[in-house]
Amino acid sequence: MDDVEKEALPYRIEHDSMGEVRVPVDRYWAAQTERSRQNFRIGVGIETMPREIIHAFGILKRAAAMANHTLRPERMTDGKLDAITQAAGEVAAGKLDGHFPLVVWQTGSGTQSNMNANEVIANRGSEIAGQPGLLHPNDDVNMSQSSNDTFPTAMHIAAALILEDRLLPAIDGLTATFRRLEAENEGVVKSGRTHLQDATPIAFSQEISGWRSSLERDRAMIASALPFLHELALGGTAVGTGLNAPEGFDSAAARAVSELTGKPFVPAENKFHALTSKDELAFAHGAMKALACDMMKIANDVRWLASGPRLGLGEIRIPENEPGSSIMPGKVNPTQCEQVTMVAVQVMGNDVAVSMAASQGNFELNVFMPVLAYNFLQSARLLSESIVSFNERCASGITADRERMRRNLHGSLMLVTALNPYIGYENAARMAKLAFKEGLSLKEACARLGYLTPERFNEVFHPEQMI
């Protein structure tokens, strides 16, 4: 857009401590948001501040107003509280998302996004009250706060909510599916595999139980991070000392956040730590990375077991969701497994960014918070949606090809392991190699080598009992 086009757009004049700024007339943001919008044209329209952070700001601004109304009623009047409550509620509900244009690549403290929230709530709140200028972005909406404690608070609120309300339920859904598949496949014996080579038998239900247990362990690790995320920096203000915040503000604000979200948020015990260290988010993301690693393994197992349909393992069938090729008629691919593995790779990459950002606290503040929040929330969002999709469109429709499993099991040379106690390891190895070289069954190879009579072989060789 050139300068002539800009001049033609309707605008209003806003001002801040640096002077006047032209702002689009149909937007609730004001001078500082507009300055950031003009100064950081990086990833515009694509890498904007995550909506979860914006909604969390709505929650915390409302909570801060509630605390200020209790502690500073002469400044946070009933009228101002009501106006902020309604406007902040609209922000939290996502009704004003179009008024938050700022990108991730801004100041590392998130100051402009904090001011974006302050300005939008001030203008919208004043409009709701029918009193232009009723609310000042700094003096009222940002009362008792600093960007340095609000952005870390917004990150913790957003992280806790997305983990508890989206990711954990997604894990629970897939876990339930695996538990059902375990019961349905109890007693179905198949060949195990290690190093992508044939191994000793395993029940299909046992194999599925490994998937289920991995998810349960990942869930426990993610849940273990929640108490740390429930600690809020709010009340530390600029450097952790709480300057300009009344005594008890941190506790009152945390109680209000808990009331608004239904989650057990508490004030961080040490605000100096809360402002500069991001170890809680790094720890929680590490647990998400562990989940991504297990989802990669599970998806790979499923697509290997479903490979074929004729020339692969073909031991399970998975739902056919869409054509798999533009040139090969009838081809169907394990696309849900592929989306899971790509998401897992993205989460693993995000973990590097989160780790690097969390390591960059200097003195009293970490100034890599927007990029940390962006990657953390993307990981949680992707994993939640990926797992739900995989569960609904793949895992829930898994069926065992029991005849294929039986054939593969009885064709495995590793069943020879059952004969170790009777003929010894080295003789069993010779027997397996002979069977493979000459295309014999284990029973035929055993008889040719004279290790066991056919009758004795039948007495001791029971693959289905090897699990």
Q: Any catalytic annotation for residue 325?
A: yes
Confidence of residue 332 (pLDDT cuts 50, 70, 90): very high
- Packed helices 204-229 and 147-162: angle between N→C axes, nearest 10 degrees: 160
- Token duo for residue 258: 């808990």
Q: Is the pLDDT assigned to residue 4 strictly greater than 60?
A: no
CATH tag, 412-465: 1.10.40.30
Residue-wise pLDDT tens digits, 268-309:
999 999 999 999 999 999 999 999 999 999 999 999 999 999
Q: Which amino acid is it at 166?
A: R
Distance CA 222, CA 283 (A): 9
Select which of 15, 213, 224, 325 is catalytic: 325
Contact call for residues 314 and 262 (beta carbons, < 8 A): no
Q: How many CB atoms lie within 10 A of CB 424?
A: 12
**Across residues 368-373, what is the average pLDDT?**
98
Q: Where are the alpha helices (DSSP H) in 93-203?
A: 111-129, 147-162, 168-184
Q: Angle at Cα 303 formed by Cα 188 and Cα 293, nearest 5°?
A: 100
Neighbouring C-alpha atoms within 13 Å toward the C-beta of 225: 27
Residue range 3-143, CATH number: 1.10.275.10
Distances (CA, A) of 376 to 40, 65, 76, 285, 341: 22, 28, 34, 6, 18
| DSSP three-state, residue 14 | strand
Q: How far apart are the first and last CA of the chain?
A: 70
The sign of the torsion formed by the CA atoms of 353, 354, 355, 360 equals positive
Averaged pLDDT for residues 79-103: 98
Rounded to whole angstroms, how far apart are CA atoms 31 and 33?
6
**Residue ranges, CATH 1.10.40.30, the chain:** 412-465
Residue 42, pLDDT > 60, answer yes
Cis previous bond, 309, omega within 30: yes
Question: No. of H helices and E strands in the chain?
Answer: 18, 10
Confidence of residue 316 (pLDDT cuts 50, 70, 90): very high
DSSP letters for 421-449: HHH-HHHHHHHHHHHHHHT--HHHHHHHH
Residue 208 has pLDDT above 60, yes or no: yes
On whether the CB atoms of residues 257 and 312 are closer than 8 A, the answer is no
User: Helices (DSSP H) in 245-368: which residue ranges?
Assistant: 249-261, 271-276, 279-305, 335-358
Check: CB of residue 91 under 8 Å from CB of residue 120: yes
Residue 264 has pLDDT above 90, yes or no: yes
d(CA 83, CA 37): 26
Q: How confident is the model at residue 371 (pLDDT cuts 50, 70, 90)?
A: very high
Q: Which of 90, 149, 56 is nearest to 377 (CA)?
A: 56
Q: Give the CA angle between residues 336, 300, 180 to the nearest 5°.
A: 70
To the question of domain 160-187+204-229+270-402 being in CATH 2.40.128.20, the answer is no
pLDDT for 9 equals 73
Q: What is the pLDDT of residues 107-164, one digit of tens each?
A: 999 999 999 999 999 999 999 999 999 999 999 999 999 999 999 999 999 999 999 9
What does pLDDT average to over the chain?
96
pLDDT for 8 = 57
Specify the long-range contacts of residues 211-215, CB closer than 8 Å, at least 24 apart: 211/178, 211/294, 211/298, 211/301, 212/175, 212/178, 212/179, 212/182, 214/294, 214/297, 214/298, 215/171, 215/174, 215/175, 215/178, 215/291, 215/294, 215/298
The pLDDT of 349-356, averaged and rounded, is 98
Residue 320 clears pLDDT 60, i.e. is over it: yes
Question: Is 285 annotated as catalytic?
Answer: no
Segment 336-357 shows an average pLDDT of 98
Tokens of 323: 């054509």
DSSP 48: B
User: Could you read off the pLDDT of 48-60 as tens digits, one per residue?
Assistant: 999 999 999 999 9
Q: Give φ, ψ of 441 to 5 degrees.
A: -75, 160
Query: From residue 71, how far is each of 44, 215, 432 by CA, in Å?
Result: 40, 45, 81
Residue 319 has pLDDT above 60, yes or no: yes
Eight-class DSSP state of 81: H
Average pLDDT over residues 198-203: 97
Confidence of residue 7 (pLDDT cuts 50, 70, 90): low
Q: Rounded to an integer, what distance in angstroms lies between the CA atom of residue 45 and that of residue 144?
A: 32
pLDDT, tens digit (0-9, with 9 covering 90-100), for 374-427: 999 999 999 999 999 999 999 999 999 999 999 999 999 999 999 999 999 999
Report the run of H or E that residue 39 belongs to, with start and end.
helix 31-39
Say yes or no to pLDDT of 1 above 70: no
Q: With left for phi above 0 and alpha for psi between -120 and 50, is residue 103 left, alpha or beta?
A: beta
Average pLDDT of the segment spanning 189-210: 97
